[in-house]
Amino acid sequence: MLRFSRFLPSASRRGFDIKEALWSGSLTFQHAVSTSAANLDERSSGKKFASYTVFKGKAALSIHPILPSFSKLESGGSRIERNGSVMLTFFPAVGQRKYDYTKKQLFSLSPTEVGSLISLGPAESCEFFHDPSMKSSHEGQVKKSLSITPLGSDSGYFVNITVLNNVQKTTDRLSVPITKAEFSVMRTALSFALPHIMGWDQVLTHQPAAPASSKPRVERPHPDSEWER
């Protein structure tokens, strides 16, 4: 029998408890979040923020989705300009249930990387490599890798980030064990998010016709647009 409480620190059996402990015990984290949110909101009032965060002994991992952006076309429609993504934020523990958000490390998953993660079998691994400065003069200065490796016995995964900074001569590693239940949340949330970060939900949402365009569409082409276009 799986007893999921075994995988969590004793205070973390209830989601709310972890959070309350954190809010009261870790001012550093709370403050950092507020600041970050404020910065974002200056250019995005009305936006909403929600993440899924797991707090473990040595580090915490927080995941949140980022919307795609569309650009207007001359004809009045719009086309996706940049895919959304799913941002992974790691931050190290600096004490019992205290985390230092200022030492966070970020890793942004593209749609294909999300596809890789949600199709991962129980005994499979995957690894992604990012160079934030690729194709610039700073290419190669910083190298990031994210690996997801099984804990064994179908009990979850290790999520590891390594950030190698060739300028500052530093290597940061953070690793967060994820239970099978937590990975199920991530898989479900990421599967839900994927069509949204690709913009497909916006394409597939029925747009009510504008009230003025009451004239019939006379010249509609044959449905088999495979051929005509």
Smallest gap from residue 177 Cβ to its own copies (A): 14
According to the binding rule CB under 8 A, does residue 9 interact with its own copies? no
Tell me how crowded residue 89 is: count the other CB atoms within 10 A of its CB.
19
Smallest gap from residue 93 Cβ to its own copies (A): 19
| Among residues 30, 98, 132, 175, the one that binds its own copies under rule CB under 8 A | 132
According to the binding rule CB under 8 A, does residue 183 interact with its own copies? yes
- Tell me the number of residues near its own copies by CB under 8 A: 111
Residue 110, CB half-sphere, CA atoms under 13 Å: how many? 6
How far is 140 from 166, CA to CA, in rounded Å? 8
How far is 109 from 106, CA to CA, in rounded Å? 10
According to the binding rule CB under 8 A, does residue 169 interact with its own copies? no
| Among residues 27, 31, 102, 129, the one that binds its own copies under rule CB under 8 A | 129
Q: Are 81 and 75 in contact (CB under 8 A)?
A: no
According to the binding rule CB under 8 A, does residue 139 interact with its own copies? no
How far is 221 from 224, CA to CA, in rounded Å? 8
According to the binding rule CB under 8 A, does residue 177 interact with its own copies? no
3-state secondary structure of 38: helix
Q: Which of residues 198-227 bind its own copies (CB under 8 A)?
A: 198-204, 206-207, 210, 217, 219-220, 223-227
Q: Which stretch binds its own copies (CB under 8 A): 42-50, 90-98, 166-174?
A: 42-50
According to the binding rule CB under 8 A, does residue 175 interact with its own copies? no
Q: Are 172 and 144 in contact (CB under 8 A)?
A: no
How far is 176 from 55, CA to CA, in rounded Å? 8
The residue whose two tokens read 């973390």 is: 12
Smallest gap from residue 104 Cβ to its own copies (A): 9
Q: Which of residues 84-103 bind its own copies (CB under 8 A)?
A: 87
According to the binding rule CB under 8 A, does residue 15 interact with its own copies? yes
| Among residues 58, 102, 106, 168, the one that binds its own copies under rule CB under 8 A | 106
Provide CB contacts within 8 A for 179, sequence distance 6+. Answer: 4, 7, 8, 155, 156
According to the binding rule CB under 8 A, does residue 152 interact with its own copies? no
